[in-house]
């Protein structure tokens, strides 16, 4: 956070984030620098510890960036209001999770959220498997995938559609993007089996 | 299998296929493991991205903290300076000009002189003062002039005549009376030059101011009556 820096308007910031490349990083970092005081506010108002507040803030900025990139930020409010709202919601989530002791570490997306599409009576099957499986190797396995696979899976995890992935990597159709992505998941599965 | 899993979570399956998916979760362990991996991979990648960006941003936060400290220090210093300046402006004594000081002295001290009577010609002097108090300035001055004419050493008549002239705003006359008084030798206490300087300052003319300064310096140098006040006025010059 330089002492004196030109203040960017919301539209300049959005354009910058959509630019791509190194320029995009500049705007993302600018966005991060703008509302750092929220961390102090969370420590003071919500009694979060500094580390939690800090990662909630990073998550807020990351979510905002992703939403801007995907056109989910519709500009109905200022970016400042938007970020304040997301941050506040995430703080409340953390407080709730800490109170109910669901999780001690901050999680961007909880497994419970991902299991939402599964009926209640079937969720325990997946929860049990996840608890039994050793996923500590997952990161290493992902790194063993090719660069393209890693990129595609990352984009998928961030919510990019197959159409968007196809456009990004110049695949002929969304179906090709989906097939490529699922092959990557299959490779991961093979790594696990071979373990 | 992966396509079925993916389509399920993307909401692309029909009712029958969905039911088959749910049933298979219970019956096919291999399938359930793939679903678990699918979800775990997605979660893991999202978490990983957050960890990476968080690690990248942390130095920004440290820099931000330093800048906030610098900003607070700068704001603190600036606020202190503003406070000091305001304090100084409000608390400092109003700075008087020599002219204002002269006027102030005249207003506070000249009236007191009108009640004192010490001369040999006390009766005439008292009558002159009474006339002046009643506003008959010209008649009073005639009496004082007569007294001075009869006795050129009558310093009291000169002094009161000067004071009465000042009160009547006959500044030229007052200057003359005080000048004559100032030049009078052999007096134990002579306020002539000091009073003359005060009247010159009160008239506030450029040349008068220079003469007034010389007179005040003479008062100080010769240790004449009004020396402390003359010194104070010279300090504010």
CA closest to A107 among chain B residues: B47
For chain B, what is the radius of gyration of the CA atoms? 48
**B26 at A interface, C-beta within 8 A:** yes
User: What does the pLDDT read at residue A70?
Assistant: 83
Lowest-pLDDT range of A50-59, A168-177, B6-15, B58-67:
B58-67
pLDDT digits (tens, 9 = 90+) for B147-161: 998 888 899 889 999
Query: Could you tell me how many residues make up chain B?
Result: 237
User: What does the pLDDT read at residue B120?
Assistant: 47
> In angstroms, what separates the C-alpha of A155 from chain B's closest C-alpha?
9
Lowest-pLDDT range of A97-111, A136-150, B144-158, B216-230:
A97-111
Mean pLDDT across chain B, nearest whole number?
Answer: 86
Selected residues 96-155 of chain A with any CB under 8 Å from a CB in chain B: 107-109, 111, 114-115, 117-119, 122, 125-126, 129-130, 133, 135, 138-139, 142, 153-154
| Crossing angle of helices B155-167 and B137-150, rounded to 10° | 160
B236, B137 contact by CB (below 8 A): no
pLDDT digits (tens, 9 = 90+) for A47-58: 888 888 999 999
Domains of chain B by range and CATH? 2-88 (no CATH), 98-235 (1.25.40.10)
pLDDT digits (tens, 9 = 90+) for A170-193: 999 999 999 999 999 999 999 888
Contact A142 B41 (CB under 8 A): yes
Give A108's contacts in chain B (Cβ within 8 Å). 43, 46-47, 50
CA dist., res. B120 & res. B115, Å (int): 16
Identify from A90, A182, A184 which residue to disrupt to test chain B contact, counting B C-beta atoms within 10 A and taking the largest count: A182
Long-range CB pairs of B220-224, under 8 A, 24+ apart, other chains included: B224/B189, B224/B190, B224/B191, B224/B193, B224/B194
pLDDT digits (tens, 9 = 90+) for B173-215: 999 999 999 988 888 889 999 999 999 998 877 788 889 999 9
Domains of chain A by range and CATH? 10-102 (1.10.1740), 134-194 (1.10.10)
């Amino acid at each position: 956070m330089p002492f004196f820096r030109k203040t960017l308007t919301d539209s300049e910031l959005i354009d910058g984030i959509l630019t791509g490349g190194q320029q995009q990083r500049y705007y993302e970092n600018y966005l991060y620098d703008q509302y750092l005081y929220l961390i102090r506010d969370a420590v003071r108002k919500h009694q979060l510890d500094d580390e939690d507040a800090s990662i909630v803030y990073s998550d807020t900025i990351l979510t905002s960036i992703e939403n801007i990139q995907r056109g989910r930020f519709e500009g109905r409010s200022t970016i400042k209001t938007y970020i304040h709202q997301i941050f506040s919601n995430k703080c409340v989530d953390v407080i709730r999770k800490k109170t109910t002791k669901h999780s001690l570490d901050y999680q961007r997306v909880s497994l419970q959220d991902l299991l939402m599409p599964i009926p209640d009576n079937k969720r325990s099957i997946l929860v049990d498997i996840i608890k039994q499986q050793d996923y500590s190797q997952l990161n290493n396995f992902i790194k063993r995938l090719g660069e393209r696979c890693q990129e595609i899976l990352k984009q998928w995890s961030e919510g990019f559609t197959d159409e968007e992935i196809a456009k990004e990597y110049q695949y002929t159709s969304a179906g090709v993007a989906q097939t490529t992505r699922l092959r990557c998941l299959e490779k991961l599965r093979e790594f696990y089996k071979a373990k | 299998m992966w396509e079925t899993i993916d389509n399920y979570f993307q909401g692309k399956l029909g009712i029958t296929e969905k039911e088959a998916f749910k049933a298979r979760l219970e019956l096919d362990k291999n399938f359930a493991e793939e679903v678990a991996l699918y979800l775990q991979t997605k979660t893991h990648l999202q978490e990983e991205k957050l960890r990476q960006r968080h690690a990248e941003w942390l130095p920004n936060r440290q820099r931000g903290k330093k800048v906030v400290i610098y900003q607070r220090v700068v704001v603190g210093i600036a606020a202190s300076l503003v406070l000091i300046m305001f304090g100084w402006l409000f608390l400092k004594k109003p700075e008087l000009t020599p002219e204002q000081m002269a006027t102030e002295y005249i207003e506070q001290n000249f009236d007191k002189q009108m009640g004192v009577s010490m001369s040999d010609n006390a009766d005439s002097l008292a009558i002159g003062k009474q006339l002046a108090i009643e506003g008959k300035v010209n008649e009073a001055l005639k009496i004082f002039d007569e007294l001075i004419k009869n006795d050129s050493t009558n310093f009291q008549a000169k002094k009161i005549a000067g004071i009465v002239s000042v009160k009547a705003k006959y500044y030229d006359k007052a200057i003359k009376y005080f000048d004559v008084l100032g030049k009078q030798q052999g007096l134990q206490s002579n306020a002539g030059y000091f009073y003359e300087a005060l009247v010159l300052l009160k008239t506030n003319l450029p040349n008068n101011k220079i003469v007034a300064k010389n007179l005040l310096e003479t008062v100080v140098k010769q240790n004449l009556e009004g020396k402390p006040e003359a010194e104070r006025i010279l300090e504010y010059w």
